Amino acid sequence: MNLEQRVYKKLLDVPKGQITTYGELAKAVGLKNGQRVIGKIMNNNPYPAIVPCHRVVMSTGKIGGYAYGEHIKTKMLSDEGIEIKNGKISSFDKKLFRF
C-alpha cells in the first residue's frame, strides 16, 4: 500500500462529529513534519464521497483548505455537529479525534 492509500485508510477512523489535523494524520502514518504532504494528498483525494478529508483541519483550529471551497467544508462540518465561529472550531480539544 502506498502512502496515499495508507493516509486515506487511516482517515476513515475519524468518525462523524470529530476532526483531526494535518499534523496528527501525518504522525499517524509515520511522517515527521509531513503536514504539507497530507494537505497535498487531501487535495488529490479521488474518493471525496468516501474519504472524509473535510474532517482534517489546521492545528490552530482554523478550517484549512478544501478542494471544492472552504465554505463547503465549513458546511459539511456544521452538518456533522461541529460548531464553527469566525472561521475557527469551537471546543477544538473536545472534537479532536485521537488515533
Tell me the catalytic residues: 53
**Distance in Å, CB of 62 to DNA, minimum:** 7
Residue of 8, 19, 21, 28 that binds DNA (CB under 7 A): 21
Distance between CA atoms of residues 69 and 44, nearest Å: 14
Q: Where are the beta strands (DSSP E) in 1-99?
A: 20-21, 56-57, 84-85, 88-89
Which of 10, 13, 18, 59 lies at the binding interface for DNA (CB under 7 A)? 59
Please report how close the Cβ of residue 82 comes to DNA at its closest, in angstroms.
Answer: 15
Shortest Å, Cβ 81 to DNA: 19
Cβ contacts of residue 53 below 8 Å, gap of 6+? Answer: 11, 42, 45, 66, 67
Q: Please choose, from the candidates 53, 63, 59, 60, the residue with its C-alpha nearest in 3D space to the C-alpha of residue 83.
A: 63
In the complex, the residues that contact DNA under the rule CB under 7 A are 2-4, 21-23, 31-40, 42-43, 45, 53, 56, 58-60, 64-67
